[in-house]
Amino acid sequence: SDRKKLHTAPLGQVFRLRPFHVLVATGGGYAGYRKYEDYKLEQLEKRGIEVPVKLASEWEVALYKSVPTRLLSRAWGRLNQVELPTWLRKPVYSLYIWTFGVNMKEAAVEDLHHYRNLSEFFRRKLKPQARPVCCVHSVISPSDGKILNFGQVKNCEVEQVKGVTYSLESFLGPRISTEEMHFSQAPPGNSFQQQLVTKEGNELYHCVIYLAPGDYHCFHSPTDWTVSHRRHFPGSLMSVNPGVARWIKELFCHNERVVLTGDWKHGFFSLTAVGATNVGSIRIYFDQDLHTNSPSYSKGSYNDFSFISNNNKEGIPMRKGEHLGEFNLGSTIVLIFEAPKDFKFNLKAGQKIRFGEALGSL
C-alpha cells in the first residue's frame, strides 16, 4: 500500500530517556510555581499582612532538588565569563540595574563600558567611603542585605526565618577537635550548643542576612577575630530568598555552604556563606584551596581545612571591615557567635542593612 511506515524507538530506549526529561520538566515547572507563590507572599508582607507558615513536605523538597540547579549554576557561571561587545554592555547592565534597583553611584567605576562581562559587573567594588565602618559597636554587618532573623540560639535550634528552624549541629557539622581551636574542652555530656560556649555566663547568638541580586556581592569581616578552620559542605543550590526560606525547613542545611570558625574576644565566632541557585561560586580571599560547586559530590559529605599549622599557631587574623570573600550573584550570610548575656542586637526583622552598619553591641 501507499501508507507510510511508522518508525518507533526501542521500548528500552524510551524508558531510559523519558523519566529524566519528565523529572526535570516537572521539577522546573514546580520551581516556577513556587516563585509565583513567593511573589504573592512578598506582596502580602508589603501590605503588612502576616503570612502563616506552611512548610514543604518531603516529596516537595525532593521534587525541588530534582531540578539540576548545580548544573544550571555552572552554566550560568560560564555565561557570566563571556566578554560582551562594548556596544552591548550598557543595554545589558542597564536592564539589570533597572530590574534589581542597583545604585551605581556607589560603584568605584560608574562607567558601564568598563565591565567586560556580567561576572565583573556582579563583583563590582564600591567607592572607599560608600560604606563607613561603625567603630562604636563590636559587631557590624558583613554585607549589604535584608535581616531575615536574629536572636539567641535556643535548644540547639536556629531560626532561618520566623517560625522555621534548622539544627545547629547539622548546619555547622560535628564540633572541631580542640587541638585545632583555642577553646577549652567541654564536658562530653553537654549539648552541642553548650560545647560551643567557652565562657561561663555567655550565650550563643545568631543573625541571618539575605543578599538580593541587586546588593553589593562582597562580604567583609563582621568583627575583630581569628579564623582557625574552614568546613565546606557540598550540597544543593536551592533558592534562599525569604519565601523559600519560609517554605523549606533546614534549607540552609540542604544547600552548599562554607563555614568559617574561630574565636573573638568573647569566645566562639563563626561566619557561614550559604550558596544558592546561580551562586555556586563562593570565594574566600585567603583560602586558595577552596573550590565550590564541583560537578560531583557525596551526599552528606564535607571537607575540613585548618589554618593552624606549625608555621602559623594562631590562624588568620581578620580586622573588622576587612575584605573576606564574595558571591557570584547574591545569597545568605549566617553569623553564629558567643557573647555575654548583655549583648543586644540593634535590628528589626525584615529591615535592609548595609555593610559597615551596626548589628549589635554590649
The string of DSSP letters for 247-310 reads: HSTTHHHHB-EEEEEEEETTEEEEEEEEP-TT---EEETT-TT---S-S---TT--EEEES--S
**Dihedral angle of Cα 179, 185, 187, 188, to the nearest 10 degrees:** -10
Angle at which helix 11-46 crosses helix 58-65, to 10 degrees, equals 110
Alpha-carbon torsion (127, 289, 245, 168), positive or negative: negative
Enumerate the H helices of the chain as residue ranges: 11-46, 58-65, 69-80, 86-100, 118-122, 168-172, 192-196, 242-247, 251-254
Tell me, what DSSP letter sits at residue 192?
A: H
> What is the 3-state secondary structure of 170-183?
HHHCCCCCHHHCCC
Q: Which residues pair with 134 in a beta bridge?
A: none
Task: Kindly name the residue from 119, 141, 144, 239 that is annotated as catalytic.
Answer: 144
Active-site residue, 220 included? yes
Cell numbers 535584608 label which residue?
146
Spatial separation of the C-alpha atoms in residues 141 and 203, rounded to whole Å: 20
Q: Could you count the other beta carbons within 10 Å of the beta carbon of residue 340?
A: 12
| Residue 361, C-alpha cell as written in the block | 553591641
Active-site residue, 114 included? no
Task: Kindly name the residue from 206, 217, 220, 229 that is annotated as catalytic.
Answer: 220
Task: Kindly name the residue from 236, 239, 281, 331 that is annotated as catalytic.
Answer: 331
Cell numbers 519565601 label which residue?
243
C-alpha 102: how far from its chain's center? 20
Spatial separation of the C-alpha atoms in residues 137 and 141, rounded to whole Å: 11
Active-site residue, 281 included? no
> Which active-site residues does the annotation give?
144, 220, 331
